[in-house]
Chains A and B, each alone.
Chain A
Amino acid sequence: MKIKRINSISSDVISPGGLKSTNSMIGKNVMSKSGEKVGSIKDVLLKDGRLKGFIVGKWMRKVFIDKEFVGTESEKSIMLNIDPVTMISGKLVFDSDGQKIGRVIDIVRKDTTNNFKSIIVKKNFFSRELNIHKNDIETHKKNVILRKTIEGN
Chain B
Amino acid sequence: MADIITSDDILGKEALDSEGDIIGVVMKLHIDKREKKILGITIDQGFMKPDLYVGIDFIKNFGIDTIFLNKIPPDKFKGCEVITYHGDHIGKVSDIKTKNYDLKSLIISRSTFSKDNIEVKIKYIQELGTKVILKKGWKANEKKNK
Q: A residues within 8 A CB of B22?
A: 92, 142-143
B residues contacting the other copy or chain, number (CB 8 A): 31
Judged by DSSP, the binding face of B is loop
Q: A35-B131, A94-B65 are in contact. Are A139 and B20 (CB under 8 A)?
A: yes
| Residues of B close to A36: CB separation below 8 A | 129-131
**Contact between A76 and B88 (Cβ–Cβ < 8 Å)?**
yes
B19 lies within 8 A of A29 (CB): no
Q: How many A-B residue pairs have CB under 8 A?
A: 92
Instruction: Identify which of B66, B67, B88 gathers the most chain A CB atoms within 10 Å of its CB.
Output: B66
Contact status A35-B129, CB under 8 Å: yes
Assess the B62–A74 pair: CB atoms within 8 A.
no
Task: Say whether A98 contacts B129, CB under 8 Å.
Answer: no
Residues facing A in B108-131 (CB within 8 A) are 127, 129-131
* Size class of the A contact interface (CB-based, 8 Å): 20 to 34
Say whether A94 contacts B63, CB under 8 Å. Answer: yes
Chain A residues positioned under 8 Å from B18 (CB to CB): 139
Contact B129 A34 (CB under 8 A): yes
Interface-side segment among B50-58, B79-87, B94-102: B79-87
Kindly state the separation between the CA atoms of A123 and B65 in the bound complex, as whole angstroms: 14
Contact B83 A35 (CB under 8 A): yes
A143 to B19: give the CA distance in the assembly, Å: 7
Apart from A98-B61, A99-B64, A99-B65, list 10 A-B contacts with CB within 8 A. Answer: A29-B87, A36-B130, A72-B86, A92-B20, A97-B63, A98-B16, A139-B18, A142-B20, A142-B21, A145-B68
